[in-house]
Amino acid sequence: MFRRIRPALAVVALLISVAHVAVVAGTAAAQPIYPWPDPDPFYAAPPDLDQAKPGDVLAVRPMPGLPVFPGSSVTMIKFRSTDSKGDPIAATTTVLTPANHVPGGPLLSYQHIINGLGAQCAVSHVLYTGDPNLVVREAPALNTVLMRGWSVALPDHLGPNSAYGAAKLGGMITLDGLRAVKQVAELGLDASPIAMFGYSGGGMATGWAAALAPTYAPELNIIGTAEGGVPMNLVKMIAGLGYSRHPAFGLAFAAAIGLEREYPQRLPISDSLNAAGLAIRDQIANGCTNEILAAGAGHGVMDVASSIALVEDPDARAVIEENSLELYDGIPKAPIYQWHSPVDALIPVDSIDNTMQRYCAAGVRVQSELFPSPDHMSTAVLGAPAAVAWLEERFRGAPAPSNC
C-alpha cells in the first residue's frame, strides 16, 4: 500500500467530498463492504469479548514450524484489543521463538507492510503461503534477529476487518499484542524488554504504538523503537494530489475501502462510487496485493467516482488528522531511531523532521539518519541493518545516542 500512498490518499480525499455531496443531496446510502469472516474459527471473537481488558489473552494455539525460519517454534495468540471508536475487538499475533531463546530474552515486535483487504492477507496466514515477499524481503532480516535469541511478535495490525489504511488502529493492536504475548507463560517473555520495528506502512503502526504507549500501555517495558519511512501527516499528502489513471490504482482504492471499514459513519466512501466503482470495490473486497493490483490497473478516481464536487467535510478531515502522527500531541517515552531518504516522492519528509524535533524538545532521545536512495523501498533496505544494530545496543542496556 504505502509505496503508493499518494494516490491512495487522493482517492480518499476525493471520495470523501463526493460522499458528503451524496448525503446532502439525499441519495441512497451505499453500505461499506467488509471482508468475509475468516473460515478458521480461531480468529472469531468470543461472545463475552466486552468482559476482557485490552491485551487479555483469548486463546493460544501452537502452529507448525516454518522452513523459512529454521529451528524456531511458532505460537499464535488471540487477544482483546480496541478499534478506533474505542470498542473491543479480537486481534491476533504470531510469535516466533528461536531455539536459543532464554526466559526474559529480548522481544521484538515487527510490523509488516500488509497489502490487502481479505482475512487471508494477514501476516499470520501469509507466513504459511510461501509468499515470495516474505521469503525474499522479510525472512533474512527476521532470521538475523532470531539467531541473536530474540523472540519476534508479528501482529495482524489491520485488525479483524482488514482496515487497510488505518494507522492509529495498528498502534493499539501492536501494543495489545505485546501485552498478550507477555501473559503466555510458555513463551518465557513476561520479564522481557521490548523493542519495535517497522518501515513505511509497518512504520505507521510502529510509530503510533511508540507514541500511544505512555498513555495506552504504560506498563510495557519498551526500550527502543526503530521506525523508517513513516508517512506522518496524511493531511499534507492529500494537498495538491492529482487524479490521473495509475497502474497501482487498485492499492489506492483499497486504502479508501479499508478506511471506510474503520470509520463507516465518518468516511462514507461507498456513497460516492458510481456503478463501475462499486463493481471494482466488490471485486477486491477480499483480495490481496495481486488481485487488487489487477482489478485497479489503469483506472483512476474519475473512473469510479459519481461526482468530482469538492466540498469541505470537517468530520472527515478530522479522521485524517487523527491518523497523522505529526498532529498527535502524544510523546514516546522510549528512545527512537528513525531513518528516511532526504527526498522521498511518496512521503513529506518535513513531517518526519517536524515530528522528531517535537519529540526532541520533549526530551526523547532521537537518532535520525538519512539514507540517500533512488526510491522509497530502497531506503528500507539501506537503513535496516543500522536500525537492528541500534536496537541491539538498547537491549544490551547501552545509553541511547541522540542527534537532536
pTM of the model: 0.91
The architecture (CATH level 2) of 1-404 comes to 3-Layer(aba) Sandwich (3.40)
* Cell numbers describing residue 186: 510458555
Quickly list H helices, 161-200: 168-183
Q: Which residue has the higher pLDDT, 360 or 254?
A: 360
Residue 18 has pLDDT above 50, yes or no: no
Q: What is the pLDDT of residue 307?
A: 62
How many CA atoms lie within 13 Å of 238's alpha carbon, on the beta-carbon side?
20
pLDDT interval class at 16 (50, 70, 90): low
Q: Is 30 helix (H, G, I), strand (E, B) or coil?
A: coil
Q: Where are the domains of the chain?
A: 1-404
Gap between the Cα atoms of 169 and 160, Å rounded: 11
Helices (H), 160-248: 168-183, 201-216, 234-238
d(CA 202, CA 199): 5
The rounded Cα 153 to chain-centroid distance in angstroms is 14
Q: Regarding predicted confidence, which is higher, 1 or 305?
A: 305
Per DSSP, the residues of 327-360 read: G-----SS-EEEEE-SS-SSS-HHHHHHHHHHHH
Kindly report, residue by residue over 142-158, the tens digit of the pLDDT.
999 999 999 999 999 99
User: Quick one: which of 310, 255, 340 has its CA closest to 19?
Assistant: 310
- Give me Rg for the CA atoms of the chain: 20
Phi-psi category of 363—alpha, beta or left, where left has phi over 0 and alpha has psi -120 to 50? left
Q: Which of 158-172, 201-215, 264-278, 302-316 has the lowest mean pLDDT?
A: 302-316
Cβ atoms of 182 and 190 closer than 8 Å: yes
**pLDDT band with cut points at 50, 70 and 90 for residue 340:** very high
Query: What stretch of H or E contains 16?
Result: helix 5-25
In this structure, the strands spanning 107-111 and 57-63 are unpaired
Q: Which three cell numbers stand for residue 263?
A: 470509520
Mean pLDDT over the full length of the chain: 88
Q: Measured between alpha carbons, how far is residue 39 from residues 44, 119, 125, 259 in Å?
A: 9, 9, 12, 23
Give the pLDDT confidence of 122-148 residue by residue, as tens digits: 999 999 998 877 777 788 889 999 999
